[in-house]
Structure 1
Amino acid sequence: MNNIFLDIETIPNQSSEYRDRVRESITAPAQYKKPESIAQWIADHGDAAADEIVAKTSFNPTQGHICTIGFALGDGDVTAVHAESVDGEALVLETFFAALPTMGVNRFIGHYISGFDMRFILCRAIVLGVKLPPSVAFPRDLKPWSQEIFDTMTAWAGARDRISQDDLCQALSLPCKDGFDGSMVAQAWADGEHAKIAEYCKRDVETVRSIFRRFEAVGY
């Protein structure tokens, strides 16, 4: 079985047209009844409400984008494939798929990988029309207990609970995030700090590999 350690970084929808549509859809809270008070609330809070909705699309493959895929095959070096514009997202997926072993079963290892990373990659490939590798190389419809996956969050917390990767690192006395985390990726991308994002993604891959080794060492 080929172990592939994986982490992705995502960003919100970058289309000004999408943001405009969200802004136009903003409505005032239900307690505002009078037309003038509704209009005033929208004037005062509409932009912030729209920005909040757009920001959350980084968790939604329907509208968000993958900017970085970090991965390592077994004990090999970590690679980070990064897009500096949304036009490069398809190439990121194609490059990642091309690097996957096609002989034997691939097992993907990551933190919350079953609920986020693998599904996001699959959905974005469908949206962008990027051809998927054979299912032995990139499985479909994964569950946390599938043999083609090892989700460090589920392995630690079970199917009904959660633990952040940072908290798990602290529990295992492993190096934690150092002043930069996933919540900062969107702004870093907007600021053109692409090398910082790629390095951060690579560190997360190294981290999840270290976590997995701790499970492996005790015969999990």
Structure 2
Amino acid sequence: MAVELPTPVLQAAKTLWEYHHIYDPLAKADLIIGLGSYDLRVADHCAALFHQGLAPRILFTGKSGNWTGNLYESSEAEAFAHRAVNLGVPAVSILIEPHATNIGENIRFARSMAGEHIQRVIMVTKPQTQRRVRATADAQWPEVATLVTAPLTRFEDQPTTAYSLEGLINEMVGDVHRMRIYPIKGYQTAQSIPVSVADAFEFLVAKGYHHHL
């Protein structure tokens, strides 16, 4: 049964949800990069973009993370590739990077596999991790033009049987925290954090959504 949360918590969570969105306008690229996670809708979206002719290859990256340790029989990347093949993407058009355990590694390892002469990539991730992907790619793969997108999923539909609403909120709170500290470490570019987002972050931390800090 779905957990009903107080309206102020939901309002604060939706503020963070909107903040994390990027949804760049897309153009043809050299490579689609699908970041592994619990959310197979990302693989579906990668397949759809491939079939639209936006890139000739897909690279799926991911070993396991905070929420996928026991979700797939294989790595995230292999599970996503299997999904894409079932959706009609030729296996020969798919690269698999099965070792990354966080977004920084997703991008660094994908960069190493992508080869030379890559000028533009489309990075596909969950809706709520788009801003972190943007900030990380701009810091760690600056020579390539990166377009960031995600499935067009509603906030209410993002939780799954394997990933709760509480998990979603904790993740979004944690990523705002990373927006603050990772630029200092050189992991990400600095991101402007509006007052409304900072207030929602502090409110949710005070309400106990601090498990991904």
| TM-score (norm: length of structure 2) | 0.28
Larger Rg: 1
